[in-house]
Copies of this chain bind each other. A is one copy, B any other.
Amino acid sequence: MAARSLDALIVTALPNVLYLTNFTGSAAIVVVTADRVCFLTDFRYLTALEGSRGTPRECPGLDVVEVAGSYDRSLADLVTTLTPGRAGRVGFEAADLTVARHAWLTETLAGQGSQAGLVATEGIVESLRIRKDAYEIATLREAARRLSGVAQRVLAEVRPGVSETEFAFTVDTRIHEAGFSRTAFDTIVAGGPNSALPHARPGERILSEGDLVVLDFGGVYRSYCVDLTRTVSLGPASPRTREVYEAVRRAHAQAIAAVAPGRSRFDIDAAARQSLTESGLGEAFGHGTGHGLGIEVHENPRVAQRRPDVDPQNDAVTSGMVFTIEPGAYLAGWGGVRIEDDVLVTDDGVDVLTDVTTDLIEIRWT
């Protein structure tokens, strides 16, 4: 904030609000100044906030402002009092605030005589979130351990004869039983030709002998997200299945081997992509290699191909970053394979937080 000469920063993105204050509800705004953290919320959450007093979840030193009517009305009133009678610079999160809210705030501040100027900022809180501290790493490590346990169970349970939807519910049940507060996204169970769709929704298709089945699921543990994918063969794998699987597995290993502090996130993506290209599957890999994990299931860093039009030069990963490595190969009409683990960049390399075999599993049943 000092580098940007800001008198205050309005934080409206809820993951950033949670990061700064531990607030896990659905409505709050934070305004940070040099010496205050103002916390705006409404009656629904005030009692809950009281209840956190004296617990480890308490965020000390919050100046709580109760919102009686509209959040943005309370925000405008607060901003006016924070910079009385002078042309304060008040940052807002341009990647979260909508054009409509910005226009209303600008007009309202002017209407009530405030000289505060709204200044677009991007990524201030996110720049803190991208490197996890010891508490966050411990939480993500435990979450990954639990999710690996979920994977062991569901890999032992998947069978032909149930629908994708039914088996997705089994996965969700295991996630719940493992102590996650919720799934991190809608669980993917994609069998046979559906496995060629990277973002398939579970449907009524019955899992059948000979299917490749992509199982992609995640959980939220103490507000932190983890994410894991394995692809199994229901019954003996065909030579082509084995070939595609091993190609993805090599790409996955190459990408993990490329992770180290100081390496470019684009190079990590390139390691997976080049490996698949060498296997003749470069065209079959249409998404990025990975995404950051934390309070959001998709956050920075993005491990993807460089886009010259939008990506900055500063692309090195550093210790404390946690992200997925999830190359895949998708052949329309035939099927697909994806293998995903969660990794932590350490001071001298990489630590794979999830722990599930990447061997091709051929499910057998009687």
Contacts and interface: CB of A to CB of B under 8 A. Distances in A.
Contacts of A197: 44, 47-48
Contacts of A103: 94, 120
Nearest to A196: B47
Contacts of A70: 307, 309-310
A73 interface: yes
A238 interface: no
A287 interface: yes
A199 B44 contact: yes
A198 interface: yes
Given A286-B44, A287-B43, A69 B307 contact: yes
Residue in A45, A69, A99, A200 whose Cβ sees the most chain B Cβ within 10 Å: A99
B95 A122 contact: no
Contacts of A152: none
Contact of A120 (B73, B94, B100, B201): B100
A94 B45 CA distance: 28
Interface string A176-198: 10000010001000000000111
A176 B166 CA distance: 9
Contacts of A186: 182
A102 interface: yes
A92 interface: yes
Contacts of A78: none
A195 to B, nearest CB: 11
A313 interface: no
Interface string A334-346: 0000000000000
A155 interface: no
Interface in A273-295: 286-287
A73 B311 CA distance: 13
A307 B176 CA distance: 41
Interface in A91-126: 92, 94-103, 120, 122
Given A44-B286, A47-B196, 19 more contacts: A25-B199, A26-B199, A43-B286, A44-B199, A44-B287, A45-B199, A47-B332, A48-B197, A48-B199, A69-B309, A73-B310, A94-B99, A95-B98, A95-B101, A97-B99, A99-B102, A99-B120, A169-B176, A182-B186
A169 B169 CA distance: 12
Residue in A94, A98, A169 whose Cβ sees the most chain B Cβ within 10 Å: A98
Interface string A159-182: 000000000010001001000001
A365 B146 CA distance: 35
